[in-house]
Amino acid sequence: MNNSAIEQLLKIIEQQLDWGEAGTWQSKDFENLNLLIFDKTKISLSASTLRRIWGRVAYHHLPSPTTLDTLARFAGFENWRAFTRQQKPIEAPLNNTDNTPEQIKQKPTWRLKIALIIIAIIATTLIAMYMKKEPATVVGAYAFSYKPVTRDIPNSVIFSYNATTSPTDSVFIQQSWDPQTRTLVDKNLNRHTSVYYRPGSYHAKLLVNKQIVKELPLLIATNGWLGLIAHQPIPVYLNRTEYINQDMMSLPLATILKKNIELEPQPPMVEFYNVGNFEPVPLNDFSFSVEVKNGYYEGAATCRFMEISLITDGVPVIIPLSAKGCVSDLNLLDGANMVSGKKTDLSGFGTDLGEWVKVTCRNTSSKIQYYVNDKLAYESALPHKKLNIVGLGYYFQGTGSVKKIELRRADKVVFQSF
């Protein structure tokens, strides 16, 4: 473990985020990074830990191995060791340990040349053997299907597969787009079970030699409304009586505290879902409306961040909201592309969430339009790929309330709640 490798890893993350120089990051940036890391790795590194790592708070110790593994995974590497190996070639020590550094420098270079020639011969032989043993993968030679165990969440999914013709033992089943959900399976067997802790639209994959040979759309549905509090490694699931009222969904702060979940310094994410309980609605022929409120604004929750998700059978539509002064940190997803508040004017999504806010979204012939309190906040191009809305999700920093939900296809009400 060395400081230069850590600095390299941090630079890679900074480039991927494209948030500007880390020295200019604000507290909210580290909180957003905390959420992004958790979303990808399912491991939470607190904003205070991230500030220490980036040198914003005096701290004279190296990060723990777990922290480094998590950062490396977030950057796209298997773990910290894999990252360091790719950044710097390993130098094997000389066999003669009696040699001093000065003596080593004086050794004739012909020995090194011979060693390199031998290594090249061995490498060429191994490559030839590998190519003979592992022919190109034939995609049509495999089978892949699934069966959910229940309609409740969590939900185990039994995958059936046939990969006996695989030229190697490198056979994997991946639960979703995230490579971190990839599991090595026995090519001579035909069953593998995975647990899904959140509902939604996934694309399960069967891979051979890192090549996707089969891919299936997989809908993890809810049995009506599902409420949870984000927690690692398993969310805290809510009883419906705790958040469903006669005319709204709303989780009291007292209920969160009763479950021994702290609201400060970092408030949890409260999430409401309804997936797979109505007929799919095409994104090119829909209208949606809802009223939301986020009354918690203490400490780190001063921005009252929340998101509304139209869950599709592909990329979702995610509508962000916040206090007016925090719109720079918003990100909108339009079913195809992420739109950053740092590069786009998303000020129309800034509002007083201490009061009920009406949010409307609908398609025109070629665009999706987003309205906040009946004012056009933004519009984006309709995705080229045909998508269908299959579920709804609401995410609050701290807690929030939802009512008057309505989803239409043309003039037909497809789903309505509260």
Stated pTM of the model: 0.69
pLDDT for the residue 43: 81
CATH class of 139-220: mainly beta
pLDDT at 175 (0 to 100): 93
Contact 263, 342 (CB under 8 A): no
Which tokens is 247 given? 């005319």
Give CA–CA dist 19/21, Å, rounded.
7
Judge: domain 226-417, CATH 2.40.110.10.
no
Whole-number Å distance between alpha carbons of 406 and 167: 51
| pLDDT band, very low/low/confident/very high, at 138 (cuts 50, 70, 90) | low
Report the distance separating Cα 85 and Cα 25, nearest Å. 29
- Core vs surface per residue 88-105: b (16+ CB within 10 A) or e: eeeeeeeeeeeeeeeeee
Domain segments of the chain as ranges: 3-87, 103-133, 139-220, 226-417
Least confident piece of the model among 47-56, 235-244, 284-293: 47-56
Pick from 333, 308, 334: nearest CA to 400: 308
Q: 370, 381 in Cβ contact below 8 A?
A: no
With 0-12 CB in 10 A as exposed, 13-18 as middle and 19+ as buried, what is 397?
Answer: buried
200 touches 220 (CB < 8 A): yes
> Please, which pLDDT band fits residue 369 given cuts at 50, 70 and 90?
very high
Q: Count the helices and strands in the chain (H runs, E runs).
A: 8, 23
Distance of alpha carbon 296 from alpha carbon 311, whole angstroms? 25
Please spell the DSSP secondary structure of 63-98, one letter per residue. PPHHHHHHHHHHTT-SSHHHHHHHHS---PPPS-TT
206: exposed, middle or buried (C-beta count within 10 Å: 0-12, 13-18, 19+)?
Answer: buried
* 157 vs 338 pLDDT, higher one: 157
Contact at 8 Å (CB) between 289 and 404? Answer: yes
CA–CA distance from 92 to each of 89, 211, 288 (Å)? 9, 33, 62
Q: Which of 91-100, 177-186, 229-238, 323-332 bottoms out in mean pLDDT, i.e. has the lowest?
A: 91-100
| Number of C-beta neighbours around residue 239 at 10 A | 9
pLDDT value, residue 63: 83
Q: Which of 241, 251, 266 is nearest to 35 (CA)?
A: 266
pLDDT single digits (tens) 49-79: 888 888 877 666 778 888 888 998 898 888 8
For residues 367 and 381, what is the distance between their CA atoms, to the nearest angstrom? Answer: 4
Q: Provide the token pair at 160.
A: 């059936």
pLDDT band at 109 (very low <50, low <70, confident <90, very high): very low
Q: Is residue 102 pLDDT above 50, yes or no?
A: no
Closest CA to 41 of 82, 69, 63: 69
Q: Which residues of 138-173 are buried (b: 16+ CB within 10 A; e: fewer)?
A: eeeebebebeeeeeebebebebebbbeebeeebbbb
- pLDDT band of 105, cuts 50, 70, 90: very low
For all residues of the chain together, what is the average pLDDT?
85
pLDDT of residue 32: 82
**Contact yes or no for 287/391 (Cβ under 8 A):** no
- Give 61's strand partners: none
Note the pLDDT of residue 88: 52
How much of the chain, in percent, has pLDDT values that exceed 70? 86
